[in-house]
Amino acid sequence: MDAQNAMSRLISLCKRRGFVFQSSEIYGGLKSAYDYGPLGVELKRNIASIWWRDMVSKRENVYGLDASIMMHPKVWQASGHLDNFSDPLVDCLNCKERFRADKVTKQTPGTAIEYVDYSSGKKGKMLPGVVPEAGYCCPNCNSPHLSPERQFHGMFKTTMGAVDPMGDFIEHVQNKSLSKEELRAKLAKLMERSTAYLRPETAQAMFVQFLNVQQTMSAKIPFGIAQIGKSFRNEIIVEHYIFRSCEFEQMEMEFFCEPGEEGKWLEYWKQERLGWYRKYANSGDKFRLREHAADELAHYSNGCFDVEYRYPWGWDELEGIASRTDYDLRQHAAASGAKLSYFDQQKQDPKTGKQGWRYVPYVIEPAAGLTRSVLAFLLDAYTVEELSDGKGGTKTRDVLKIHPQLAPYKVSALPLVRKDGQPELAAALAEDCRNSGLPGTCDMNQSIGKRYAKHDEIGTPFCVTVDGQTAEDGKVTVRDRDSTEQVRMDSTRVVAYLHERLDKSLTE
């Protein structure tokens, strides 16, 4: 099965089995907005809590934060987002596709090309052309006939407080003859008082709260501040299902270190983060690090790596790990007047040679996408196996070989038949599992084969079958999702056995 086919089968599985739904579906859907259904929300929460466990709870020097989505507008001025958080938007004059100039493949201007003609209405007719000065063609039809680049701002604006800027605006301009520019300037002035932004990243709150966290926790450098939360970007192109959407979730950490030590910590965090994905994935080789070229780096950054995943459309970003120098703290210190620095009594000031050194910490930022991780882990887990049908032919088995720690349900208890006390025994077993912290169901509908198939598809690592013998000998069958191997054991042993297997999955 090719990768594109796997992607469309996975999307269909996600809808059919309750992982991801289109937002506002009964109203025709909202483009690029998605809702996580009963199983999707469990998977997403599992990824988030494992990230939190591995990045925060297990570390003595990383502290959590849960900041508000709307922040003081000056935050976005100081961070540079108001001036720079925009993407170059281009319209294709041939096929009318809209795209980001910074995301298309660069070509040498003047090179001869062919593109699909959309103007004649003849399907598939090719026309000759040359790569224009801009150094790229339309990614959809390869046409060189493109609009100039326009900057498109990526932050969502909203108004805050009980104000009605529109009412004020009408009052101000009514019966006045104003030019377009004057009207625009008036509206902008009136809006300014109440404008707020939805955060386009979770990172800035960690810089803004640097002092509060450092002082309340008596944190010693190096230390990190981490948070998980929603971010919003008015993306020009929303693409590849949940890969790029306007509302998404991030898992970010700002790691503050001594100036001069950022190279060591960048190296440390890039290995940690790559290792983290590989630990919970089946195909570790589908995750890699890509170093940013010098012309990709932000002006303040002195090194950046992406963790990339091999999606069906090719290698693409999953997480960025950037060395941001002291840029963010300096920007916020200058704009707010707060002293965003750190004093180390044990160190000598390298400039004066005196005991005690005050400096602005440098920062390494591992910035991961939570919703993008859901997609990467689903793609990594989704497998179609060809099996013998026992009659000389073959049949396929769709199985989500998701890491047991990430799986929405850890277990399902299945009575072989819906009689002879089997449903009650299975329900009691499922309840024991849930009470011991193993999310699980008791599934009674359809044939046992169909129930196994369903749990394979949703990635339940273990099914426990209660059969006619169980009432007599107290034994049940535990089936392993990946190997389909079955082991018979006393039903009283099941909970402990499943916990052992889950613990083992962390070290395997």
Site for ligand ATP contains 481 (CB under 6 A): no
One-letter identity of residue 304: C
Helix (H, G, I), strand (E, B), or coil: what is residue 161? coil
Site for ligand ATP contains 371 (CB under 6 A): yes
Q: Which of 145, 199, 244, 403 binds ligand ATP (CB under 6 A)?
A: 244
Give me the least distance between CB of 75 and ligand ATP, in Å please: 16
Stretch that binds ligand ATP, among 313-321, 341-349, 398-406, 452-460 (CB under 6 A): 313-321
Stretch that binds ligand ATP, among 46-54, 125-133, 316-324, 425-433 (CB under 6 A): 316-324
Which residue lies nearer to ligand ATP by CB, 244 or 451? 244
Give me the least distance between CB of 368 and ligand ATP, in Å please: 6
Residue numbers 152-211 binding ligand ATP by CB under 6 A = 201
Site for ligand ATP contains 250 (CB under 6 A): yes
# of chain residues touching ligand ATP (CB under 6 A): 16
CA distance 316 to 270: 16
Which residue lies nearer to ligand ATP by CB, 204 or 491? 204
Q: Helix H segments across 17-98?
A: 38-52, 73-79, 81-84
Both tokens of 134, joined, read 């801009």
Number of H helices, E strands in the chain: 15, 25
Which residue lies nearer to ligand ATP by CB, 186 or 290? 290
Stretch that binds ligand ATP, among 63-71, 136-144, 180-188, 312-320 (CB under 6 A): 312-320
Half-sphere exposure of 452 (CA within 13 A, CB side): 17
Q: Which of 55, 206, 318, 406 binds ligand ATP (CB under 6 A)?
A: 318
Give me the least distance between CB of 233 and ligand ATP, in Å please: 5
Q: Which of 42, 319, 380, 443 binds ligand ATP (CB under 6 A)?
A: 319
Which residue lies nearer to ligand ATP by CB, 54 or 235? 235
Site for ligand ATP contains 239 (CB under 6 A): no
CA distance 54 to 58: 6
- The residue written with tokens 């929460």 in the block is 45
Site for ligand ATP contains 92 (CB under 6 A): no
CA distance 363 to 194: 32
Residues 6+ apart with CB under 8 A from 504: none
Site for ligand ATP contains 233 (CB under 6 A): yes
Which residue lies nearer to ligand ATP by CB, 22 or 477? 22
Stretch that binds ligand ATP, among 160-168, 181-189, 314-322, 420-428 (CB under 6 A): 314-322
Residues 6+ apart with CB under 8 A from 21: 15, 34, 35, 36, 37
Q: Residue 196: name the closest of 160, 146, 147 by CA.
A: 160
Site for ligand ATP contains 375 (CB under 6 A): no
Q: Which of 235, 239, 261, 385 binds ligand ATP (CB under 6 A)?
A: 235
Q: 277, exposed or middle or buried, with CB in 10 Å at 0-12, 13-18, 19+? A: buried
Both tokens of 191, joined, read 């809006």
CA distance 134 to 50: 44
Which residue lies nearer to ligand ATP by CB, 75 or 426? 75
User: CB of 266 within 8 A of CB of 386?
Assistant: no
Both tokens of 494, joined, read 């099941």
Residue numbers 340-369 binding ligand ATP by CB under 6 A = 367-369
Q: Which of 245, 323, 460, 470 binds ligand ATP (CB under 6 A)?
A: 245
Instruction: Please provide the DSSP assignment of 290-324 as one string.
Output: EEPPGGGS-TT-S-EEEEEEEETTEEEEEEEEEEE
Which residue lies nearer to ligand ATP by CB, 307 or 360? 307
Q: Which of 85, 207, 248, 265 binds ligand ATP (CB under 6 A)?
A: 248
Give me the least distance between CB of 199 and ligand ATP, in Å please: 11
Which residue lies nearer to ligand ATP by CB, 244 or 454? 244
Which residue lies nearer to ligand ATP by CB, 204 or 371? 371
Integer-rounded Cα Rg, in Å, for the chain is: 28
One-letter identity of residue 74: K
User: CB of 131 within 8 A of CB of 143?
Assistant: no
Stretch that binds ligand ATP, among 253-261, 311-319, 423-431, 444-452 (CB under 6 A): 311-319
Site for ligand ATP contains 324 (CB under 6 A): no
Which residue lies nearer to ligand ATP by CB, 250 or 412? 250
CA 152 to chain centre: 23
One-letter identity of residue 263: G
Give me the least distance between CB of 371 and ligand ATP, in Å please: 5
Which residue lies nearer to ligand ATP by CB, 139 or 165? 139
User: CB of 318 within 8 A of CB of 368?
Assistant: yes
- The residue written with tokens 């007047």 in the block is 337
Instruction: Please give the sequence-ordered ranges of beta strands (E in DSSP) within 135-222, or none if there are none.
Output: 150-153, 157-159, 195-197
Site for ligand ATP contains 17 (CB under 6 A): no
User: CB of 213 within 8 A of CB of 221?
Assistant: no
Site for ligand ATP contains 332 (CB under 6 A): no
Say if residue 312 is preceded by a cis peptide, omega within 30 of 0.
Answer: no
Nearest residue relative to ligand ATP (C-beta) = 369
Q: Which residues bind ligand ATP (CB under 6 A)?
A: 201, 233, 235, 244-245, 248, 250, 317-320, 367-369, 371-372
